[in-house]
Amino acid sequence: MNKMTVKDVKDWAGKRVLVRCDFNVPMKDGVITDENRIMGALPTIKYLMEHGAKVILCSHMGKPHSIFSEEVKLNKKDKAKVEKGETTAEAIIEKAKKDEPKKLTLAPVAKRLNELLGGKVTFASDVVGPDAQAKVAACKEGECVLLENLRFHWEEEKKDLEFCKKLAAFCDVYVNDAFGTAHRSHASTAAIVEYGLVKTAVCGFLIEKELTVMADSLEHPVRPFVAILGGAKVADKLGVISNLLEKCDTLIIGGGMAYTFLKAQGYEVGTSLVDDEKLDYCKEMLAKAKASGKELLLPVDTVITKSFPDPIDAPIEIETVPSTAIPADMMGLDIGEETRKLYAEKVKKAKTVIWNGPMGVFENPTLAAGTIAVAQALADAEGATTIVGGGDSAAACTQLGFADKITHISTGGGASLELFEGKVLPGIACLNEKE
């Protein structure tokens, strides 16, 4: 990694530092239910505070409707309701104005940070408004201010220049430690530096670790190198599949997208999820693997059922059949026992393993066996570098108690996928290079 880190800045004392964090934590009734992202940001925050910096933290939370601006955005679900005539955009926005400031505020995060950092954190009730300006001005060396949810401003996602100028006015140095949003080209993740408004821009310890472990493992893997991809759709991982086939020795496919590969080979997949538009792409990837001498593994047996569980965790009757013999009126929702053994054996022999995407509908206890088996295989892979690329895979490892047995669990699902794809992440590209 050739980007400057917080340790490359020699004197932090008295400097105002804007730190982009990822505090988009899950909450229920105003209570944080998973503190992993907060804990992941602490080393950088503590380092800056201990070295006398005036620390200004910023983050997004959820996907607000940008209710505090003239530009109104509706999410896909709300747009569909409006199109069906079930409600109006005005009604949605009025409701959002009442609900979102309470549901998507970062105030609970500020409270928790204050507990963790010895009472040295204050919370600004706006982002670039009078309260933020006053609290940033009053911030002393070794203290911290957390700004309100960045996405309460539409300008954040639109990279608005004036908004960037207001953020930049808060700092002498910019630190990005939000790997989970490093693939987004937003005001606080990249534009503030791209516009030349901040000259010194470095990464925090969290991003440094993500890049060191993941990027180095991709570029210089100890072999055998096994990559495991799951999840629903092939379309979500087009570039990832192609790029990993060039780097790994074995590519394992599971999850919903396995059925598109099976159908591309001419097999019946019943009512399983299929990307029919990506059948030719799957054929190309199968041919690419064969031509390059790489191993591309698909499920040899499949857990099937009559219909998708509703609700998702509802009891369900299942059976297991060969993947080449799925009945026309059944759907596959997890990998079978023989596939679990096959995949675990490949992981056992590997020296580098990366995994992104569940093997089935793991939210349902009856359909979680495949995902559990892969997580267990990574946890048992002695002497191997094991990397879990965020998202559902990371959640599964944490829920199953395997987190401490994995070399690295990424904090960013989308960002890690783009890194696996070989893309340049805007939130990383904008940072200063080491001399």
Residue pLDDT, tens place only, 317-364: 999 999 999 999 999 999 999 999 999 999 999 999 999 999 999 889
Q: What integer is the mean pLDDT of 148-156? A: 94
May I ask the CATH class of domain 6-64+104-206?
Answer: alpha beta
Quote the percentage of the chain above a pLDDT of 70.
98
Picking from 200, 126, 199, 195, the residue whose alpha carbon sits closest to that of residue 161 is 195
At 229-270, the pLDDT tens digits run: 998 877 778 889 999 999 999 999 999 999 999 999 999 999
Known catalytic membership, residue 37: yes
Quote the percentage of the chain above a pLDDT of 90.
73
Three-class DSSP category at 123: strand
pLDDT score, position 94: 82
Spot the catalytic one: 52, 129, 239, 414: 414
In 197-248, at which residue ranges do the beta strands (DSSP E only) sit? 200-203, 225-229
Mean pLDDT, the chain, as a whole number?
A: 93
Q: What integer is the mean pLDDT of 397-425? A: 87
Residue 292 or 91, more confident: 292
Does residue 73 surpass a pLDDT of 80?
no
Q: What integer is the mean pLDDT of 402-413? A: 88
Known catalytic membership, residue 233: yes
CA–CA separation, 178 and 207 (whole Å): 7
Does residue 1 surpass a pLDDT of 70?
no
Picking from 3, 430, 433, 423, the residue whose alpha carbon sits closest to that of residue 195 is 430
pLDDT score, position 393: 85
Helices (H), 275-368: 279-292, 337-349
Q: Record the tokens describing residue 428, joined without a space.
A: 């990383």
At 74-132, the pLDDT tens digits run: 777 888 888 899 998 888 888 887 888 888 999 999 999 999 999 999 999 999 999 99
User: What's the length of the chain?
Assistant: 435
Known catalytic membership, residue 266: no
Indicate the helix (H) or strand (E) that contains 176. strand 173-176
At 210-233, the pLDDT tens digits run: 888 888 888 899 999 999 999 887
What is the dotted CATH code of the domain comprising 213-410? Answer: 3.40.50.1260
Range(s) for CATH 3.40.50.1260 in the chain?
Answer: 6-64+104-206, 213-410
pLDDT score, position 118: 96
Does residue 186 surpass a pLDDT of 90?
yes
| Residue 287 confidence class, pLDDT cut points 50, 70, 90 | very high
Bridge pairing between strands 352-356 and 319-322 = unpaired
Whole-model pTM? 0.84
Phi and psi angles of residue 302, each rounded to the nearest 5 degrees, phi first: -140, 140
Q: Record the tokens describing residue 342, joined without a space.
A: 């096959």
Residues 6+ apart with CB under 8 A from 114: 120, 121, 122
- C-beta of residue 253 within 8 angstroms of C-beta of residue 231: no
pLDDT score, position 101: 84
Spot the catalytic one: 3, 20, 37, 346: 37
Spot the catalytic one: 111, 233, 341, 351: 233
| Residue 70 confidence class, pLDDT cut points 50, 70, 90 | low
Residues 333-364 as b/e (b if ≥16 CB within 10 A, e otherwise) read bbbbeebbebbbebbeebbbbbbbbbbbbbbb
Does residue 313 surpass a pLDDT of 70?
yes
Spot the catalytic one: 391, 412, 413, 427: 391
| Residue 29 confidence class, pLDDT cut points 50, 70, 90 | confident
- Order across the sheet with 301-305: list the strands: 319-322, 301-305, 331-335
CA–CA separation, 259 and 343 (whole Å): 17
| Residue 406 confidence class, pLDDT cut points 50, 70, 90 | very high
Known catalytic membership, residue 199: no
Q: Record the tokens describing residue 411, joined without a space.
A: 């904090």
